[in-house]
């Protein structure tokens, strides 16, 4: 029975993980771009 329930989860989990990974990568790129753009001005 428990194995039957597990069959429904992976799709949602995979999508959520993909969204989180994408968000993490975008945040890293944005932080890097903003940091390199603002850095020279502030310091």
pLDDT at 5: 56
Distance (Å, whole) CA 43 – CA 21: 32
The position carrying tokens 């944005």 is: 30
According to DSSP, residue 7 is labeled T
pLDDT at 39: 74
| Residues 1-43: tens digit of each pLDDT | 455 555 555 566 788 888 999 999 999 999 999 888 877 766 5
pLDDT at 13: 77
Distance (Å, whole) CA 16 – CA 1: 24
pLDDT at 4: 56
Distance (Å, whole) CA 24 – CA 16: 12
Distance (Å, whole) CA 21 – CA 6: 22
3: tokens are 């194995």
């Amino acid at each position: 029975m428990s194995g039957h329930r597990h069959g429904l989860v992976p799709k949602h989990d995979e999508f959520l993980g993909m969204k989180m990974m994408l968000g993490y990568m975008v945040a890293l790129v944005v932080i890097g771009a903003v940091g390199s753009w603002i850095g020279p001005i502030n310091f």
